Amino acid sequence: MFELCLPAILGGKCIPSAALFGQLLIGLINGSFYALLSLGLAVIFGMLNIINFTHGAQYMLGAFTAYIILQKTGLGYWPALIIAPLIVGVLGIIIERTMLQWLYKLDHLYGLLLTFGVALIIEGIVRNEYGSAGLPYTLPDSLRGGQNLGFMFLPNYRAWVVGASLVVCFGTWFVIERTRLGAYLRAATENPTLVRAFGINVPRMITLTYGFGVALAAFAGVMAAPIYNVSPQMGAELIIVVFAVVVIGGMGSILGAILTGFGLGVIEGLTKVFFPEASNTVIFVIMAIVLLVRPAGLFGRRA
Amino acid sequence: MLEQTAPLLSIKDLQSWYGESHILHGVNFEVREGEVVTLLGRNGAGKTTTMKSVMGIVGARTGSIKFAGTETIGMVPEKIARLGIAFCPEERGIFASLDVEENLLLPPQVQPGGLSLDRIFELFPNLKERLGSSQGTKLSGGEQQMLAIGRILRTGAKLLLLDEPTEGLAPVIIQQIGRTIRTLKERGFTILLVEQNFRFAATVADRHYVMENGKVVDQFNNSELDANVDKLHDYLGV
């Protein structure tokens, strides 16, 4: 064990390394959820031009769906991790087909209001059914326990969350930026009319994109279930920070959403070590500064 | 000879709207298989809107647009394209978020028998050199136009709609595009061309239609063009 000290000008505070790395890990975990959620928001905004305020509710719905699968069907953690996002993704597709598709030609405000309303309805229904107290979510045996790394203790589940989130985020980035399907998506984001005139079914691509973005949120929810409480307001609490992350990264930038998600999680964790008082506000302070200096966000492209 | 082939594209009483504005007021014309036909006319006469109506990318349209005997007036754009019609827009439509190769490979094959990449590079040798370039929109105007035409040749579409392919380009590039259009005609493509420059149109086309105020008001065979130069100057306001 060793200690890390801030320079005297910043107060000269000394921190044991275990505390530092512990908070760094918590920062990475939070960052994993910020990245998964802001990635979904960025993908949806790029294709649909809609700021999906239902995202937090869909994250919560992922956790609840997995909880119900575990309780009612006896299927294990791993099937629930796959099935819950699929179910929530299909619910998202239904929302897109029945409601969102009528709003694409209107101002952003309408999509924002509609998705915000849908979020309130979903949260209300879940609260009515399950109450607002948190529900426990059990871990599979394979993910219990942890590794002693010498300078800190690394719980297996937390390592799994960070690893899986990295794989899913960069997998999504790869598909969008480096494959034929991704070229269709990028082209349709730029000029949907011309892409349709080439014979590509853009409306179906938009529907599937929304379903995918929503499934990403639900996936984050299932991953979060064993760490945080499964409760109806779990999404509403997180989504405010995620929107700040999206604003900092720049709306519609895939890599920007991932990097700022992880980066801000880590910054938040470090702030908890050195200036605990500021840890809840540091992201919003960064957001304000970024908005002043680069209104389009760190990775945003000015149209 | 040409008179005996069935029309590949046949447009009757086509009316089109963008929102509240009524742009086309009953357009009638046809293009036979293997022909190169131009739509001439001033800005705002409805040439581009006619092309977009064929692709199904205007607000609303009525009347009849038959392609190879199939009525397309009620079809969505992606379905029309799949019949074998390809569109090269006036603004070229090169995607900034795609590199040159991705732009070239973007339009999917809609019918068998499209040109291979090698054939496309024979027509546009510059494109091959630019394949490694990062952004499609960083190419010069002429190269962007070649990319915009080249990418629709792969698709197997038999009818090409080219909207002002020479606009804003240097004379030497215009000549290259003219040679390309003649080569494509020899290869059996049918081409509908929108042009403001009838001197260029005369070097590539079999027939010309003149549009004014959302209607076709006149037509000539290319051989009759010289006899009608005064009339054309009148129509085009040059």
Q: State the residue range of the domain holding B119.
A: 2-236
> In this predicted complex, what is the ipTM?
0.93
Helix A55-68 to helix A17-48 angle (10° resolution) is: 110
Extract the tokens encoding B57.
């990318």
Alpha-carbon distance of B193 to B191, in angstroms, equals 6
Q: Which residue has the higher pLDDT, A112 or A3?
A: A112
Mean pLDDT of chain A: 91
Query: How far is residue A213 from each of residues A45, A47, A85, A92, measured CA to CA in Å?
Result: 10, 10, 10, 9
Other CB atoms within a 10 A radius of the CB of residue A5 amount to: 11
Among A130-144, A277-291, B165-179, the range scoring the smallest mean pLDDT is A130-144
- CATH number of the domain bearing residue B184: 3.40.50.300
Mutate to test the interface with B, among A106, A179, A198 (most CBs of B within 10 A): A198
Mean pLDDT of chain B: 92
Alpha-carbon distance of B12 to B15, in angstroms, equals 9
Please indicate, yes or no, whether the overall pTM of this predicted structure exceeds 0.80. yes
Task: Find, among B189, B84, B116, the residue nearest to B180 by Cα.
Answer: B189
Alpha-carbon distance of A208 to A215, in angstroms, equals 10
Helix A55-68 to helix A77-98 angle (10° resolution) is: 140
Alpha-carbon distance of B10 to B4, in angstroms, equals 15
E-strand stretches of chain A: 3-5, 14-16, 146-148, 153-155
**Separation of first and last alpha carbons in chain B:** 34
Which among B78, B80, B86 has CB closest to A200?
B78
Alpha-carbon distance of A61 to A160, in angstroms, equals 21
In this model, does residue A255 exceed pLDDT 60?
yes
The domain tally of chain B equals 1
pLDDT by residue (tens digit) across B139-164?
889 999 999 999 999 999 999 999 99
Instruction: Please enumerate in sequence order all residues whose Cβ is within 8 A of that of B186, keeping only pairs 6 or more positions apart, or say none.
Output: none
pLDDT at B232: 86
Alpha-carbon gap: B13 to the closest alpha carbon of chain A (Å): 22
* A179 SS3 class: coil
Average pLDDT on A52-56 reads 96
pLDDT band at residue B102 under the 50/70/90 scheme: very high
Q: Write down the architecture of domain A17-119+154-293 according to CATH.
A: Orthogonal Bundle (1.10)
Mark which residues 222-281 of A lie under 8 Å from B by CB: none
Residues in chain B, total: 238
Domain ranges of chain A: 17-119+154-293
Which residues in chain B have Cβ-Cβ distances shorter than 8 Å to A201? 78
In this model, does residue B134 exceed pLDDT 80?
no
pLDDT at A141: 82
Which among B81, B93, B95 has CB closest to A199?
B81
Tell me if B98 and A202 make a contact (CB, 8 A cut-off).
no
pLDDT by residue (tens digit) across A154-175?
889 999 999 999 999 999 999 9
Average pLDDT on B41-53 reads 94
* Residue in A with minimal Cα distance to B111: A199
* Residue in A with minimal Cα distance to B155: A198
pLDDT band at residue A303 under the 50/70/90 scheme: very low
With beta carbons less than 8 A apart as the criterion, state whether B82 and B55 touch. no
